[in-house]
Structure formats: structure tokens, C-alpha cells
């Protein structure tokens, strides 16, 4: 699996859109996760670590697992996994021109820290449960659909609620 972190705005990649990443410090000394988010679906994937480069293989492994947990067709989830073999990830912040992405990533980071505090220890933090929870949150940026609902529509070839409403 390859991937690249490149300067400047990334090209649109795949049916979930561009992926962005940001480091989220946890309430445990020296522990962080990297939050990856697909711009079009606002789908979040969380990988333990601080470095985008070293967490990329974990991200590429976790995406199809999340898609399977969301009940998406196996063939579609595996195709998305293959799309990630050569993916461009942009760091959130200066390279992210879309305020919807920045705001949603900030909200997700708060939720991740809350979940980490509730777990009490890094070893008890269930990243699958964190991702599943983030996938179920209705978002204004998606016309108050959840990322899970949006990804299901994308998998069926439908447009998102925001695209239908012209937003």
C-alpha cells in the first residue's frame, strides 16, 4: 500500500472525495490518534499514533473494516479499499479550504477526546466504537444526514441530501 502526503490542495479522489487528516491529542500522556475524514461523506477513520506517514497503513486497513460494519456490500467496500492503495491525504488546516470539513473535524476531535476520557485508559479505547459513533452523528454539512447514511447513498449511486437540495 502506498500513499502520499503532499503540499497544497489535493485532487478529488474516489466517490468519498478527498481525505484529510489531523492529529488529535488524547488525555493520556504521549498518546494521540490521527483522524482521517472523507470530505464528501464526512466519514471518519481513526488510527493510533501521531505521524500521518506511519498511520497511513493503519488507515488503509481500517477503512474497509468500517465500511463492512456499516453494512455496505462487500464488493463495494473492497473496491474502496483498492482506491486507497495510492491515496493522497491532505493535512487539515491551511490545505483545507472547505470550512465544513474543518468544523466537522474539530467536532469529531472533541468527541474522540470525550470517548478517550470515558474509556479511562488508552488500552480500553475501542477505535471501532469511536468510528461507529462518529458515523452515526447527523451533520448539518450533510443536510442533517449522518456519514453512515451518506455513504450508503453513495454506495447505491444516489446523491447526498446536500447535493439534492442544492447546498
pLDDT digits over 52-99, tens only? Answer: 778 989 999 999 999 999 999 989 988 888 888 766 676 666 555 678
Task: Report how far Cα 121 is from the mean position of its chain's Cα atoms.
Answer: 23
C-alpha atoms less than 13 angstroms from C-alpha of 90 in its C-beta half-sphere? 23
Q: In what order do the strands lie in the sheet with 19-25?
A: 2-5, 86-91, 19-25, 32-38, 44-48
Residue ranges covered by each domain of the chain: 19-156
Sorted by sequence, the CB contacts under 8 Å of residue 23 that are 6+ apart come out as 32, 33, 34, 35, 50, 52
Percentage of residues in the chain having pLDDT higher than 90:
54
Fold of 19-156: Nucleotidyltransferase; domain 5 (3.30.420)
Amino acid at each position: 500500500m502506498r500513499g502520499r502526503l503532499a503540499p497544497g490542495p489535493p485532487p478529488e479522489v474516489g466517490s468519498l472525495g478527498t481525505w484529510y487528516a489531523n492529529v488529535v491529542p488524547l488525555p493520556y500522556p504521549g498518546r494521540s490518534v490521527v483522524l482521517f475524514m472523507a470530505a464528501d461523506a464526512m466519514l471518519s477513520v481513526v488510527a493510533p499514533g501521531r505521524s500521518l506517514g506511519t498511520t497511513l497503513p493503519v488507515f488503509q486497513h481500517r477503512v474497509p473494516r468500517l465500511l463492512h460494519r456499516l453494512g455496505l456490500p462487500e464488493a463495494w467496500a473492497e473496491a474502496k479499499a483498492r482506491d486507497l492503495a495510492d491515496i493522497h491525504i491532505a493535512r487539515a488546516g491551511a490545505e483545507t479550504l472547505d470550512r465544513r470539513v474543518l468544523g466537522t473535524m474539530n467536532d469529531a476531535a472533541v468527541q474522540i477526546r470525550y470517548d478517550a476520557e470515558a474509556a479511562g485508559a488508552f488500552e480500553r479505547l475501542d477505535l471501532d466504537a469511536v468510528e461507529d459513533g462518529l458515523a452515526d452523528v447527523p451533520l448539518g454539512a450533510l443536510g442533517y444526514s449522518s456519514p453512515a447514511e451518506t455513504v450508503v447513498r453513495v454506495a447505491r449511486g444516489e446523491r447526498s441530501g446536500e447535493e439534492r437540495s442544492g447546498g
